[in-house]
Chain A
Amino acid sequence: MLQKIAPQTLRIIALLAVLVLITLFFTTQIEGFLSGRLFNRISSSVAIMALVATGQTLVILTRNIDLSVGSVVGFVAFAAGSMITNHPDLSPAVLLAYSAALGAGFGLINGLLVAYARVPSIIVTLATMALFRSTLVEFSDGKSITTDNLPAWLTDFPNMVVFALGQMEFRAGFCASVLVVIVAHLAMTKLRAARQLYAVGSNPEAADLAGIDAARVVLVAFVLSGVMAGLAGFMFLARFGNITVVAGMGFELKSVASAVVGGVNIFGGSGSVIGAFLGAILVDLLETGLVRWAVVSEFWREAVLGTLILAAVATDTIISRRLTKARAERAQKEALASRVAK
């Protein structure tokens, strides 16, 4: 029966179940936990992380990793901030395109080094994480972006209520982010080219035999990850307004955590954008819950996050290994049976 359902669907169902369980748990523990405010809080924060995690998912699918996303978010937030500060009349669309293009540029650097210079992605992005951050420091010249210098349309945008369900406010930032996630998810499931991303991560040798240009696929994944980080940088600027050179630090690990918790296989080939989105929500929900849970200090959240990642990966590995073993045993039995029949 379970074999009927695709593993990815199962993962998403399991994630939703875990989300509900955790919410219920904190509801029993914390008075007034389940409220509109909780939703508003988590949705505002997930709005940014979901974008980064989406990009990270694309990269992980191809058996790579992008540790530079945090620096890209920071750089783009700052650069977009200084652009709009210097040119207050700039239209929103141009600023958004500027952010995405900057991100794409950073992604292109990563992608070229990984796909064509064949440097392992962990090294490349470890280096560019430092490099992009230091470029930001140089670029900023010690100054910060402040909310006062930003146009109202920008700072108001994330908190603008599109519609509300009781206390739950669906704010523009969150809605935009969800829209991007949905588009990305549809693209990943419906576009022919997107299947190549999965193919390269799933079995590189077979992908090569099937005539897929793996280097180009990896390059595209990194560029898209850069674009996503660029959009997240735009959102970061809009939400916080005050941008210093440390903006976006730590996003790289949180985005990897969201993807992995969301069922994206760290060895590539399987996972979904929706999964990573749910992973981001789960991570944020846990953090928020732990901060407000009186039993433990709020400082537990990182420890729990680390444990969560390890538990998610270990469970995934053990379950898939069991499945493989069970399958091998079944095949063996069939082989023996046929031999006896002979």
Chain B
Amino acid sequence: MNIHNSDNNINLRHMRDNLVHAGYGYIIFGIWSVIKLLMMSTMQKEYSGLLSDSIGSSTGDYFLAIAITVAAYLIIIIFTLGMHLWIGYGAVRYGRGTGHRKYYVVLSVIGIIMTLVLLPLYFWNPSEGTPIIPDDTTIASILVDITLVFVFLDMIISTVRIDRLMKSTDPDGSSETRD
């Protein structure tokens, strides 16, 4: 007894696996974004200094500022993680065949556009109109953003290919036939 592993079915499994990995990859990016935010705000002098300078001299001001800062960070963290989980799991579920909604494709397109539009800000200060010479940390960030674009592209391309392959295969993508 043999299985007929048609090219369509093999490619479909491959694309589904790709999409699942891309989805998880995007979730990991979300976790990294949160870690990066916390590291920048606590360990990078410019940001922590900006925060302490903005706090007034009274004790009440100090605690209020801390409370607002923590609340703001929590909101940003929850939003960032939630966004990545929503998009990432959407892709994972579609890849596994347990979900049918493709909202993450639209969000991926928006993600690519936003990342590409904001990318020049690494090199250009629009408020002063002067160029920025990127340091090694900035170069690392640029590479991370470019990788993120590839993850988005992988999600979109895999989804499109899954849909095409599904049309030419069984509805559930499991048209293996035994000879």
Bound pair: A and B?
no
Where the two chains meet, the residues of A that have a C-beta atom closer than 8 Å to any C-beta of B are: none
